[in-house]
Structure 1
Amino acid sequence: MISIAQFIRIDRRKSDPLYLQIAYQFINAVQRGLIPVGAKLPGTRIWSEEIGVHRKTVVAAFDELEAQSWISIKPKVGAFVQNPTLKVRNVDGEITNRSDVSDRAAFSFRKSFVLSSPFEKEEHRFVCNDGQPDYRIVKTQELSRFYTGALKRRYIQNNIGNYAVQENDFFKDQLSYFLNLTRGFHVSKAHILSAKSREMLFYSLTKVLMNKNDVVLVGELSFFSANMVFSQEDVQIKTVPLEDDGIDVNYIKQHFEKGEIRCVYLNPQQSYPTTSVLSTKKRKALISIAEEYDFVIIEDNENFDFNYVKTVELPMAAKSGKGRIIHIGSIGKYLHPTLQLSYMVAPSDFIEEAKKYVSLLNPQGNFVLEQALGEMIVEGDLFRYLKKSIKIYRERRLNFHSLLNLYFKDEIYFELPSNGFAFWVEFKTQFSLVEFRDELKKNGVFLPRICMYQNQNQTALRLGFAHWTQEEMEEIFPLFRSAYDSVVER
């Protein structure tokens, strides 16, 4: 009979329950072939003595292993080892090995090159990005108490799995309060639709708003995820030139007829990727043209919370629009990704229709997450975390600015961004960004393709600063400079 103590070690310092530690280590031993399938296990009393835990703990571990089919318990006979990943029963009840799935389908299907993920996975010491927060600032363990607390609410437990209840009214009340307070809105929960990602909201609004061959205007350089979703509706995506203060609004009147445009997509707070801010004059002009030319404005304002200047332009949808502006934003962007949500603010009749598509993709909704975020708003923790994060990001923004000046002052054009998590850096000299990326790799730095912008007239990078500490920045900038010098000298 097997001596179980050689495979299982209890660590009472861990937060995992003891019975789960036993179960996990047992499963690991079976998967590695250390405990043979079919072997009879010692009784629970022997386990208790060998491992040094109470017999009830061993019984709980056995129950867990039996529930997952890792052991088979036969009354008055004993417990026997199984491996559910190796064998299955066929329709005749015979045990057979699993067959390999073919690498090539025997049927035709649609392929989409447009939807190919632009993200790359690389293992390097330093990884650049296009502007993401530092999830180390707000500790995950601290955040977990909100989610754990939400799970314990009787209201939550009574509605989990109830497909008829897809939205958390408590959260929507708190979110409307939060938006009215921080963004100048005057909305109720009827004007708000929440989802786990912006892309889900983009998908829902395209299904409700756009038809085949509709004209959708975006900036000459624009957010790739939105363009990917829009293109699935076979719309005509046309570009508008960019200026220092945002898109060229007059270009719309000069090149399009009334009724020709279905919608205009933009981020007025920080244009992607250039980080430019749409001026007040242009915002007013765009709203006026939208009424005159009868089109919809899709206002993407994901990073609104992260402003580093005293005077902040409120969202266009909060100031005007007369039912023509669909506003998209995020809540908790500075928290761990599992605790973030995106939202849409629009006329209530549009929200009701768009909700159908979000519900189709996620029929159970985000009930527990919404409860946790709602409680964070009520208790003031969301504001506290935001204040803490902004202070750190403001310092990092200035540090990144100083290092750009120190290492590249004469070689680049750039401005200090007034909000967001990224710098837009244009090089005065034309060189290959692909070769620059390869040089960086040699020094343990990964530069994703989504950060690189190059054509015959432009060599530019969108570089995130928020995810690096000052020490990390000071270490990475000499590597940037070394790679730049190597490429330019060729």
Structure 2
Amino acid sequence: MNSPVEIPYKSFIKIDRNSESAIYMQITNQLINAIQRGFLPFGTKLPGTRTLSQVLEVHRNTIVAVYDELFAQGWVESLPNKGTFIIGKNDEKPVDFNDFNKINLKNYPKSTGFSFKTSNILDNPFEHSDCEFVLDDGSPDIRLTQIDQQSRIYSATLKRRAHKMGHYNQDGSEFFKKHLSQYLNLSRGLPISNNNLLITRSTEMSIYIVSEILLSEGDTVLVGALSYFSVNMIFQKAGVNIVTIPIDEEGINVDEVREICRRRKIRMLYLTPHHHYPTTVTLSAQRRLELLHLANEFGFIILEDDYDYDFHYDKSPILPLASADTNGMVIYIGSFGKSLAPGFRTGFIVAPENLMIEMRKYLGIIDRQGDILMEHVLGEMIAEGEINRYLKKSLKVYQERRDHFATLIEENIGELVSFQKPAGGLAIWMQLNIKINLMQLSKNCAQNNLFIPKTLLYQNKELVAMRLGFGNLNTYEMTKSVEILSDNLKKLV
């Protein structure tokens, strides 16, 4: 057997003296790593504590602590008058000590040693950029959020209730569900109780749970001819057949839905009736009633997404389909606190109690711990009226931004585009009257410090359009963004 000092320990034990991890644990972990990978096989004699401390340039007591830890974890044994030896099965190949200089035990494998399924469907569609100006699909401006006030409520709740929240609770905060159900009753006309609510992390999580329970491979799901890409990805992953329905100025084409139902079995219709994504149009009241009648007649589920329900400017919003559903055909999903700081937002599902029982089983698997503390904070914000006060204040700002953004578009590129100033939401749907390559436009704008993600671009043989968010932009930012967009657009005409 080679002498223990022949092993070049310093070549694979690297000490970071600025690390928060104790030096003896750094050495211990790297020695264990070497044992696990076969570089220190069974029977290898480790150097004496004095010798190894000199090799690694550390105090002898540090190596004593290393050997004590290795012994405690069962990696080595100490034999009287013989030394310290590696414990293990004697099936390792002989080690060529010349190879030690070629290894780095900190490197993690670059690929698996086994095969697995991959999915192009779930490729991340979101892009990021270092450009100074960024257009998105209509997100709130976190700079408007009252973070200090929200943090104070969170801190006070943590001090009062943390000791009562030491266990998992997949069912969520009953306090929050009580106040959220009352809030949805008053704001959306939903006569629900706590038993009709499931609290999730996001709209996407809600739709995933719904899909897992209600959809089977081969089912047919109807969506708008233009629809939310993340939702479509979830449906595609579920293996369903997606059929698109035309959208006009009154929302989804109900006559087309009826004709399809007569020809084939439909399992589900997904729609964002309040502000259709991406076109921002509102589904008319008459069509809402017609869809409810069709769902009852043909037995398909309506998955209603209340996207941007809280952002409405010109008149009172039309109540959801779920508020008029008496036969249990509508599942209502949405997000709460979208106008708050990102960490204060959550998703929810509203459905009949028998479906809730099954949904809670799935939530218990993917989100068993939940976030009871944050939910309680949101419940207090509802109870104290903070949500309503903040929404009222922020809506005024967003309405002013909508008006200014629409004016900028009209003044700079009005002759090249068509758009309607939306009644609500945080984005404008803009159709171009000219045929240009939108990807090229986006590339050119990026070179001038304006980032336009590909998820905002809609182009086919009949359509050239963009969904442009204004909610996250102040006056200066939207002015510069439209200027850059206008300059580059006119260069492609």
Q: TM-score normalised by the shorter chain: which range applies?
A: 0.7 to 0.9
CA distance in 2 between partners of 1:217 and 1:403 (Å): 36
Match of 1:44?
A: none
Contact 1:176 1:188 in 2 (8 A): yes
Q: 2:409 maps to which residue?
A: 404
1:30 aligns to what SS in structure 2? coil
Deviation at residue 178 of structure 1 after TM alignment: 0.8
> What is the rounded CA distance, in whole Å, between the counterparts of 1:375 and 1:116 in structure 2?
38
Matched, 1:92 2:97: no
The separation in 2 between residues aligned to 1:392 and 1:246, in whole angstroms, is 27
Deviations 1:183-218 (A, max 9, x none): 111110101111111111111111111112111100
Contact persistence 1:259–1:293 (CA under 8 A): no
Question: 3-state DSSP class of the match of 1:303?
Answer: coil
Write the letter of the residue equivalent to 2:485.
F
Q: 1:457 aligns with which of 456, 459, 462?
A: 462
Who is 1:153 aligned against? 160
In terms of mean alpha carbon deviation, does 205-214 or 389-398 score higher? Answer: 205-214
Alignment partner of 1:212 is 2:200: no
Task: Find the partner of 1:143 among 141, 145, 150.
Answer: 150
Distance 1:486 1:88 in 2: 69
Residues 1:384 and 2:367 are matched in the alignment: no
Distance in 2 of aligned mates of 1:368 and 1:356: 21
Q: Alpha-carbon deviations, 1:109-162, whole Å to 9, x = none?
A: 0101101110012111011101100000013233211221221223x42223x1
| TM score, norm. by length of structure 1 | 0.80
User: In the alignment, residue 132 of structure 1 is paired with which amino acid?
Assistant: S
CA displacement at 1:259 relative to structure 2: 6.9
Question: Tell me, which stretches of 5 or more residues in structure 1 are unaligned?
Answer: 1-27, 39-76
* 1:464-479 matches, cutoff 5 A: 464-479=469-484
Give me the whole-angstrom Cα distance separating, in 1, the residues matched to 2:228 and 2:245: 13
In 2, Cα distance between the equivalents of 1:263 and 1:437? 35
Inter-partner Cα distance in structure 1 for 2:308 and 2:262: 33
Q: How does 1:317-328 map to 2 (within 5 A)?
A: 317-328=322-333
Instruction: Mark the runs of 5 or more structure 2 residues left unpaired by the alignment.
Output: 1-15, 25-58, 77-85, 87-102
Say if 1:408 and 1:159 are closer, same or farther in 2 by CA, change over 3 A: same
The alignment of Structure 1 onto Structure 2 pairs a total of residues equal to 415
Matched residue of 2:143: which SS? Answer: coil
User: Which residue number in structure 2 is paired with residue 270 of structure 1?
Assistant: 275
- 1:266-295 per-residue CA deviation (whole Å, 9 max, x = no partner) reads 000011111111111111111111111111
Among 87, 102, 115, the residue aligned to 2:109: 102
Q: 2: distance between equivalents of 1:476 and 1:164?
A: 45
C-alpha distance in 2, partners of 1:297/1:354?
A: 17
RMSD: 2.7
User: Percent same amino acid among aligned pairs?
Assistant: 35
Pairing partner for 1:169 from 155, 169, 174: 174
Contact 1:166–1:364, Cα closer than 8 Å, also in 2: no
Could you state the TM-score of these two structures normalised by the residue count of structure 2?
0.79
* Correspondent of 1:339 among 326, 329, 344: 344
Per the alignment, residue 18 of structure 2 pairs with 30
Which whole-Å CA distance do the structure 1 matches of 2:125 and 2:133 have between them? 19
Kept in 2, the 8 Å contact 1:204–1:355? The answer is no
2:267 is the alignment partner of 1:279: no
Q: What is aligned with 1:7?
A: none
Offset at residue 311 of structure 1 (A): 3.1
CA–CA distance in structure 2, aligned partners of residues 453 and 293 of structure 1: 32
2:113 counterpart letter in structure 1: A
The answer on whether the counterparts of 1:258 and 1:293 sit within 8 Å (CA) in structure 2 is no
Q: Which amino acid aligns with 1:157?
A: H
For residues 229-249 of structure 1, give each alpha carbon's deviation from its aligned partner in whole angstroms, at most 9, with x where no partner exists: 112221111111111211111
* SS in structure 1 of the partner of residue 420 of structure 2: coil
Aligned to 1:116: 123
Secondary structure of 2:428's partner?
strand
2:295 to 260, 282, 290: 290
What's the secondary structure of 1:371's corresponding residue? helix
Structure 2 CA distance, aligned partners of 1:253 and 1:166?
38
2:145 maps to 1:131: no
CA distance in 2, matches of 1:176, 1:80: 60
- Measured in 2, the distance between the counterparts of 1:98 and 1:348 equals 54
Q: Secondary structure at the match of 1:463?
A: strand
Cross-structure match for 1:178:
183
**Structure 1 segment 232-271 matched on structure 2, within 5 A:** 232-257=237-262, 260-271=265-276
How big is each residue's C-alpha offset from its partner over 1:327-359, in whole Å with a ceiling of 9 and x where there is no partner? 111111100111001111111111121121122
Mapped to 1, the partners of 2:448 and 2:191 lie a distance apart of 51
When residues 78 and 365 of structure 1 are mapped into structure 2, their CA distance, relative to the original with a 3 A threshold, is farther
Classify 1:291/1:36 alpha carbon distance in 2 versus 1 (closer, same or farther; 3 Å).
closer
Q: Is the 8 A contact 1:267 1:300 kept in 2?
A: yes
Distance 1:171 1:133 in 2: 23
Name the SS of the counterpart of 2:478 in structure 1: helix
* Bigger Rg, structure 1 or 2: 2
Per the TM alignment, residue 104 of structure 1 is displaced from its structure 2 partner at its CA by 1.9
Q: 1:330 aligns with which of 329, 332, 335?
A: 335
Q: Does 1:221 align with 2:230?
A: no
* Closer, same or farther: CA 321–238 of 1 in aligned 2, 3 Å: farther
The corresponding residue for 1:355 is 360
Partner residue, 2:97: none
